[in-house]
Structure 1
Amino acid sequence: MEQPFRYYMQVRYGECDAQKVVYNARYGDFLDLAATEFLHHICDQDQLPGGAFDYQVVKLTIEWKASACYRDQLEITVQASHIGNTSFTLAMDIHNYRTGQFLARGEMVGVAVHPVTVEKMSIPDIMRQALEQGGRGKFIDHAGIHIAKESAGA
């Protein structure tokens, strides 16, 4: 079975306190980035009615297990755990890429809205299929992890 969609990022200085530990609120930002990249990556937005898929986050929960620190490279897995008529739930896990340590788990519930009117709407069939397929085996690398591997001949 292929791995779920993965988003790689590196922790920046401004996301940390004086001890170089990530502020708790920043994990919400990390999950938002991963969700945005996931949704953009799994479906060609030009194929959608109105040319885009938009949503509003109605719930975001985070469970912390360990801290991320300045310059840590994070791997965030993203997969749809529920797809309803108008809402969907993304389950996300954050790991330290280098050590494999589990850092946090997040769950985001989004409601599909019309891109112009922002009124609640049904999830378009194309996006529903994309959420079901989930971009398994795919990734976005904003940490340069895979570039470094290729440069090293891995």
Structure 2
Amino acid sequence: MNPAETKAHTAPARSHFRCLHRLRVRWAEVDMQKIVFNAHYLMYADTAMGEYWRQLAVPYEAGMKALGGELYVKKATVEYHASAQLDDVLDVGLRCERIGNSSL
């Protein structure tokens, strides 16, 4: 086994995130094992992204028009450390690490 895989996961400090969006796992998001179906984690990130723009006080549609473009997800990767279950409360953290100056 890879040594990196055996290390315990340490979550980043909450202070490392500009936006924290709290949500509760709903019945429609879990499978027969009562854990969140994998695809929903990306939906949680997308929902938190909308909240990120709200917290910046920039409505998404108006912000994109002012910036003259749109945001696109070029790549999305999810690394699982534990399953979220029905009725769990999750804090989804977002931050911008880098802004480049080139397009896709």
TM-score for the superposition, normalised by structure 1: 0.49
For residues 49 and 18 of structure 1, what CA distance do their matches in structure 2 show?
39
Identity, % of aligned positions: 30
Which residue identity does 2:58 align to in structure 1?
D
Answering whether residue 67 of structure 2 is matched by residue 67 of structure 1, we say: no
> 1:48 Cα shift?
4.6
Structure 1 unaligned segments of length 5 or more: list them.
88-110, 112-154
Superposed CA RMSD: 2.6
Structure 2 unaligned segments of length 5 or more: list them.
1-13
1:1-154 correspondence to structure 2 within 5 Å: 3=15, 4=17, 5-45=19-59, 48=63, 50-51=65-66, 54-86=70-102
Q: Higher relative CO (CA 8 A, sep ≥ 6), structure 1 or 2?
A: 2
> 1:36 Cα shift?
2.1
For residues 47 and 15 of structure 1, what CA distance do their matches in structure 2 show?
30
More strand, by proportion: 1
**Residue 106 of structure 1 corresponds to which residue in structure 2?**
none
Q: Please identify runs of 4+ aligned residues in structure 1 that moved more than 4 A.
A: 46-49
- Asked if the contact 2:25/2:90 (under 8 Å) is kept, the reply is yes
User: What SS is found at the alignment partner of 2:97?
Assistant: strand
TM-score for the superposition, normalised by structure 2: 0.69
Cα deviation digits, residues 82-138 of structure 1 (max 9, x gap): 111146xxxxxxxxxxxxxxxxxxxxxxx6xxxxxxxxxxxxxxxxxxxxxxxxxxx
Residue-pair matches, total: 87
Compare 62-71 and 77-86 and name the one that shifted more. Answer: 77-86
